[in-house]
Chains A and B, each alone.
Chain A
C-alpha cells in the first residue's frame, strides 16, 4: 500500500525560484492538506482541500498556492521561494466519512538559500 506519497524528499532552492511539491494518495480520500514544520515546533496548516475543485487556506497560506484537479493529487506551489519557507513539508489525507484519522506522507525537506 503506497498511502500518501510526497516528492521530492529533498530540495534546495535559491531565493526567488519556483517549485512544486507533489502529493498523491491512493486511498480515495476526499480530504487532503499541507502542513509545514519548523525546527522544534508543531505542524502548521498551510492549505487544505475537502474534495476535487475545492481548496481553502489554513493558518499560514502566504507564499503558497494549491489546486485539486483530481481526488488523488494535491500539489503545493511556491511561486517565489524565500528563506523563511525553509522547512519540512508534510502532506496528509483522510476520509471525511471515517474516523477522521490523518494519514501523513514522509515529508519533503526544503531549503531556500
Chain B
C-alpha cells in the first residue's frame, strides 16, 4: 500500500465542517482511499472509501483530487462525538490494511 501523510492534529468548532486532508502522492491506479476513525480507545470504525470519484454517505464526504495524489474527508457538521483519530489509508483489495498515526481531530464547543 502507498504511504499516506496526514497532519498530526486539527481542531474544529462544533457545528462547522471539519476538513481532514491526506496526501498519497505515490498511490497506484488500483489503490482505493479508505478512511477510518477511532473514538477514544474503541475499535476503529469504517467511514468511507473511494477510487476516483467523490463519494458521500451518511457520515461524511470524500473528495479525491483528479490526479489522486491527495484527498479530503469532510464531516459537514462536526459534533463533539466526532472527536477521534482519523486514519487515511491507501489500500489495494486483497492486501492488509496499514494504519499510520492518523489525525487527532478535536471538536471544540
The interface of chain A, by Cβ under 8 A from chain B, is 4, 33, 35, 40-45, 48, 58, 88, 90, 92, 96, 99-107, 109
Task: Choose one: A44, A99, A100, A102; the contact of B44 (CB below 8 Å).
Answer: A102
Q: Is the CB of A100 within 8 A of B93?
A: yes
> In whole angstroms, what is the CA distance A44 to B87 when docked?
13
Flag if A88 contacts B41 (CB, 8 Å).
yes
Measured CB to CB, the closest approach of chain A to B31, in angstroms, equals 11
Given known pairs A43-B99, A99-B49, the reply for A105 and B94 (CB within 8 Å) is no
Contact of A41 among B32, B34, B97, B101 (CB under 8 A): B101
| Residue contact B100 to A106, C-beta cutoff 8 Å | no
Contact of A101 among B41, B42, B49 (CB under 8 A): B49
Complex Cα spacing A99 to B49, Å = 9
| Minimum C-beta distance from A100 to chain B (A) | 5
